[in-house]
Amino acid sequence: MEKTEDKNQQPEEEQVVNPWEVSAKDGGKIDYDKLIDKFGCQRLDQSFVDRVQRLTSRPPHVFLRRGVFFAHRDFNDILDAYERGEKFYLYTGRGPSSEALHLGHLIPFMFTKYLQDAFKVPLVIQLTDDEKCMWKNLSVEESQRLARENAKDIIACGFDISKTFIFSDFDYVGGAFYKNMVKVAKCVTYNKVVGIFGFTGEDHIGKVSFPPVQAVPSFPSSFPHLFSGKDNLRCLIPCAIDQDPYFRMTRDVAPRIGYHKPALIESLFFPALQGENGKMSASDPNSAIYVTDSAKDIKYKVNKHAFTGGQESIEKHRQYGANLEVDIPIKYLNFFLEDDAELEHIKKEYGAGRMLTGEVKKRLSEVLTELVERHRRARAAVTDEMVDAFMAVRPLPNMFD
């Protein structure tokens, strides 16, 4: 049995990480080692990265090289099976709570696209419009509308339509999917779900019965139009580590209903511009870089709002160097600057005080602008018809090619 996080017994000073809340202890940084320990998942070490490179015959994604995706459950099983010629499918998702998508939202999708290309496997993407309708108190129509809008940004990340199925809960729940939901629900007691997710007597029953919805895309039989006859197909779920509770529950239930446990590969949280302790929020446009920001906006936000580890004066900076631990531009470059050598050089020079904050910020603005521009152009090519096609319940005959 895997360790489950018992929220009710958490002492006040502990960090809180669950699908609806992420906060560090005393407003400090998230302790990822403690998190891995508490959740019971494994660290993703360099040997994995090398193995992925060998198996896929291409350079590993920057997020793997830099430890952005840093934890996993059973990823080695997936790789073992892959080596034997057994494929798997990918499952990821988004809760469409707002139209404003920022770079942090794109991270799991950018990585999933790489996995799709590198391993040549199909992908299902779940848009939990029902969840947002319930938790954020949106109308059904509004959450459906947001789901479609978000789908466009997701498609713009470059997924292959012949291998990708996007679905919204309001559209798709039913049939085989619902049958699996009931099977899962029968295996999780009320007390258990309260223990995992922290529901109280005041929470409405929609919330309490939601977790199976996010669990069952991990089972191939939920998608008869895609995987019929392939009940043995494994599932790999790239996600941010705050989603772990859903899948701990799923992994617990899977063997009891005769399915493989889904494997997970989990990422760090993307820091807000104001620093690790800051919170990214859709209502504070200066806390994050949005995919709709112009080059001017990006430059402004990076220059004015990014929290840096540079010293207060040039003299001090030349003497002591920058504090790379808290410097946001360096952290962002860690995520998005492809060239390892260049990043190392910047870290070295900046840490020694030879490079100034302004220069680092300038490079960051360039990198982010290029990223956002590329995304915007791709987004411009996504039409409503394309969304319809991605979301159509259709077979994907070439999904493993």
Partner 1 sequence: MGYSKDQLLARLKELQIEFSQYEHPVVLTVEAQAKYVGNLGGALSKNLFLKDKKHRYYVVSALADTKVDLKVLSQRLGLGKGGLRMAPEEALGEILQVPLGCVTPFAVVNESARHVSLLLDQGFKNQECCFFHPLANDMSISLNAHGLDKILKSIGRNPSYIDLEANPPVGKDQPPDLAAYVPSDSPVLPDLPEKAPSSQDSTGDSVGAATKTAAFTAKAVKPSGNAKNVKEKSADSARPSIPAADAGKFVEELLDRASALLLSEISEDSIKQHGGQLGAEVANNVKKYLREDLKNLATIFKNTAYTEGFYAGTRCQPKRL
Binding site for partner 1 (CB under 8 A): 97-100, 117, 136-138, 145, 149, 152, 155, 158-162, 281-283, 285, 290-292, 374, 376-381, 383-386, 388-389, 392, 394
Min separation Cβ 100 and partner 1, Å: 7
* Pick 81 or 291: Cβ nearer partner 1: 291
* Residue among 36 and 289 whose Cβ is closer to partner 1: 289
Min separation Cβ 171 and partner 1, Å: 14
Q: Count the neighbouring beta carbons within 10 Å of the beta carbon of residue 6.
A: 11
C-beta of 20: minimal distance to partner 1 in Å?
13
Rounded to an integer, what distance in angstroms lies between the CA atom of residue 179 and that of residue 177? 5
Compute the least distance from the CB of residue 389 to partner 1, in Å: 4
Q: What is the 3-state secondary structure (H, E, C) of the chain?
A: CCCCCCHHHCCCCCCEEECCEEECHHHCCCCHHHHHHHHCCEECCHHHHHHHHHHHCCCCCHHHHCCCEEEEECHHHHHHHHHCCCCEEEEEEECCCCCCCEHHHHHHHHHHHHHHHHHCCCEEEEECHHHHHHHCCCCHHHHHHHHHHHHHHHHCCCCCHHHEEEEEHHHHCCHHHHHHHHHHHHCCCHHHHHHHHCCCCCCCHHHHCCHHHHHHHHCHHHCHHHHCCCCCCEEEEEEEHHHHHHHHHHHHHHHHHCCCCCEEEEECCCCECCECCCCCCCCCHHHCCECCCCHHHHHHHHHHHCCCCCCCCHHHHHHHCCCCCCCHHHHHHHHHCCCHHHHHHHHHHHHHCCCCHHHHHHHHHHHHHHHHHHHHHHHHCCCHHHHHHHHCCCCCCCCCC
User: Of the two residues 138 and 193, which places its CB atom closer to partner 1 in the complex?
Assistant: 138
If the CB atoms of residues 151 and 188 are measured against partner 1, the closer one turns out to be 151
Q: How far is the CB of 380 from partner 1 (least distance, A)?
A: 4
Output 140 or 257, the one with its CB closest to partner 1: 140
Give the residue with the Cβ less far from partner 1, 100 or 324.
100
Shortest distance, CB of residue 397 to partner 1, whole angstroms? 12
Distance CA 279, CA 161 (A): 34
Smallest gap from Cβ 386 to partner 1, in A, equals 4
In the complex with partner 1, the residue whose CB is nearer, 342 or 384, is: 384
Q: Tokens 């979301």 label which residue? A: 391
Query: What is the Cα–Cα distance from 190 to 206, expressed in whole angstroms?
Result: 13
233, 221 Cβ separation under 8 angstroms: no
Beta strand pairing call for 164-168 and 123-127: parallel
Which residue, 133 or 233, is less far from partner 1 as judged by CB? 133
Least distance to partner 1, CB of residue 136, Å:
5
Least spacing, CB of residue 282 vs partner 1, in Å: 5
Quick check: 335 and 63 in contact, CB under 8 A?
yes
Task: Return the number of the residue (40 or 158) whose C-beta is nearest partner 1.
Answer: 158
Q: Which is nearer to partner 1, 97 or 308 (CB)?
A: 97
CB of 51 to partner 1, least distance (A): 22
